[in-house]
A = this chain, B = another copy of it.
């Protein structure tokens, strides 16, 4: 009884953190990937005021402002820092730019020398504005809203670094990785170290939970998944939690499918974000005893709204609310999503009782 009370008094008050501590809540906390973004008119208004997408990420006042917009409008249970996973290669010295409507373009790193030229010398200096944005958001958030920091996972960031942008088949990065095993291992090690440091600084600036996005995990064959997705993630969580043992970490291995089972067993995470292809029952049976589940509504259903959305929302709530669970999409909000649909979704979750 005393132990229980002690536990209780130590339990973090914010719903998101309670779910990540393994607690089953009356209704799940809710936030949405890419909840700050183009579908919001107030985001587009801010976006117009700066030249490039990276300028927005690196202007603390504006990055903080767009981070807070969906929290104000919808009462989300968490804010996720507005930024981009490619600030890490940028801070390591790689040229990164965002072409309107085309996505990111990087000068690809494709030889050992280019890897050697990457440097952590100005890393935290270049990322200073991101840490400042975290401080601003932390100061402005409602008391029960958690602040999530984030970074890209080494495999996904390496994909962009080697492909020079998005890719359909990831042949450049895979061939390079297979032909230059040692250089690729060195690149992943560098990314593990830099990413862990980056996340630690976010925590020290005020982030209360972290999410690591492995957006291209689905491109990995079974054996590669273990080596290039799980191992680097485990190395990062180990470093971050050695410094900040209380900080929960969510991994998002998009397309990771079957691999999620090994990932929750090995990667030292407290939450796993699941894409819409992951079967609800399988996740409840195989993953939820190891990790809080987060997800997994298809963003197209949110954009469609109405009865088709509600039906699937109820299915997810029923399947996953018996354990630790955070409601979210299975991928980011689509730009074509009507904001009212987001309001209905949040209303549905907040009024839900099993």
Contact = CB atoms under 8 A, between A and B. Distances in A.
A307 to B, nearest CB: 10
Interface string A254-268: 010111000000000
Contacts of A257: 257-258, 277
A258 B258 CA distance: 7
A298 B177 CA distance: 13
Contacts of A279: 222, 258
A352 interface: no
B175 A276 contact: no
Interface in A168-222: 168-171, 174-175, 178-179, 218, 220-222
Interface residues of A, dominant DSSP: helix
Contact of A299 (B171, B282, B330, B336): B171
A298 B277 CA distance: 21
A326 B27 CA distance: 49
A80 B330 CA distance: 36
A304 interface: yes
A303 B175 CA distance: 7
A301 B299 CA distance: 33
B218 A304 contact: no
Contacts of A218: 218, 255, 277
B336 A222 contact: no
A161 B166 CA distance: 23
A315 B224 CA distance: 14
Given A276-B222, A277-B221, A298-B224, A303 B255 contact: no
A54 interface: no
A344 interface: no
Nearest to A276: B221
A59 interface: no
A298 B330 CA distance: 26
Contacts of A301: 178, 221
Interface string A279-303: 1101000000000000010111101
Nearest to A257: B257
A120 interface: no
A331 B334 CA distance: 28
26 contacts: A166-B168, A169-B331, A169-B334, A171-B303, A171-B334, A171-B336, A174-B298, A174-B300, A175-B303, A175-B334, A178-B304, A178-B308, A179-B304, A218-B277, A221-B276, A221-B301, A221-B312, A225-B277, A255-B255, A257-B258, A257-B277, A258-B277, A258-B278, A258-B279, A258-B282, A259-B277
3 A-B pairs with the lowest CB-CB distances in the bound complex, closest first: A221-B276, A174-B300, A178-B304
Given A169-B331, A221-B301, A257-B258, 9 more contacts: A169-B334, A171-B334, A175-B334, A178-B300, A218-B255, A223-B312, A257-B257, A258-B277, A258-B279
